[in-house]
Amino acid sequence: MSGSLPRLYSFRRCPYAMRARLGLLFAELKVELREVVLKNKPAQMLAISPKGTVPVLELAEDDSSERLVIEESRQIVEWALRQNDPKGLLNIDLVSANTLIDQNDNEFKHWLDRYKYADRHPELTQSEYREQGEVFLQVLEQLLAKNRYLLGSNISIADIGIMPFVRQFAHVDQEVFYSLPYPNLQQWLRDWLEHPVFQHVMIKFQPWQEGHEIVVFP
């Protein structure tokens, strides 16, 4: 593995990959970024992570003879913030944070996918899928009615773990999303979309190919 930087395989628009990049940015850790085209996944990524999903973070031992691979976005975020957490994203009740992220990943994501691709799931209408997803949005709205961020007055691991998925839900039909009765959630999302860290997350990079110059992120 070239150099001493961890290597991140990522895809700009994937919410799991956004989550990982947010974690790395808040941890102020640099990685070698390899932007992936999901229809043409690099053999180097599949060799270390055969399941073929992003993000994948490849760490190198000092002697470069052994590799550690982290294949889940939540684990990448936790690994990064345990290295360095200058903004205190882990300084909250981690049980509450993980419960909320579990609900996002296991329940909300299910309805989000069906809302986004309703034509592939004709069992319910798009509106019905949206309403199922709104059950989680209502939980978030109640939390944000009390605090600026999900678990308090400061950004936490819960915010960066969930925001990319709420963003994707909103972008299915922004006019509908911003007409829903969730003013605190809508403002939270607007603030995130304008946040310099998130804007850095969404910088476009050319897809990686063998022989390309190394891209350091951030």
Do 49 and 132 share a structural domain?
A: no
CA distances from 59 to 51, 52, 82, 205 (A): 18, 17, 15, 21
Do 136 and 76 share a structural domain?
A: no
CA distances from 142 to 106, 115, 139, 167 (A): 20, 22, 5, 18
Residues, the chain: 218
Do 191 and 101 share a structural domain?
A: yes
In a domain, 44, yes or no: yes
Q: Is the pLDDT of residue 63 over 60?
A: no
Q: What count of Cα atoms within 13 Å lies in the side-chain half-sphere of residue 217?
A: 29
In a domain, 2, yes or no: no
Confidence class for position 65, pLDDT limits 50, 70, 90? low
Looking at the chain, the whole-number percentage of residues with pLDDT higher than 70 is 95
- Label the pairing between strands 31-35 and 56-60: unpaired
Do 33 and 56 share a structural domain?
A: yes
Looking at the chain, the whole-number percentage of residues with pLDDT higher than 90 is 87
Report phi then psi at 209, rounded to 5.
-135, 150
Do 127 and 66 share a structural domain?
A: no
Do 41 and 129 share a structural domain?
A: no
In a domain, 181, yes or no: yes
Do 111 and 64 share a structural domain?
A: no
Cα distance between residue 128 and residue 140, in whole Å: 19
Do 175 and 138 share a structural domain?
A: yes
In a domain, 102, yes or no: yes
Gap between the terminal Cα atoms of the chain:
19
Tens-place pLDDT, residues 171-199 = 999 999 999 999 999 999 999 999 999 99
In a domain, 1, yes or no: no
Domain containing residue 12: CATH number: 3.40.30.10
Which pLDDT value is given to residue 212?
A: 82
CA distances from 36 to 9, 22, 70, 100 (A): 6, 17, 16, 29
Residue located via tokens 């209408």: 125
Q: What count of Cα atoms within 13 Å lies in the side-chain half-sphere of residue 165?
A: 29
Domain region containing 151: 94-195
Do 112 and 160 share a structural domain?
A: yes
Do 187 and 120 share a structural domain?
A: yes
How many domains does one find in the chain? 2
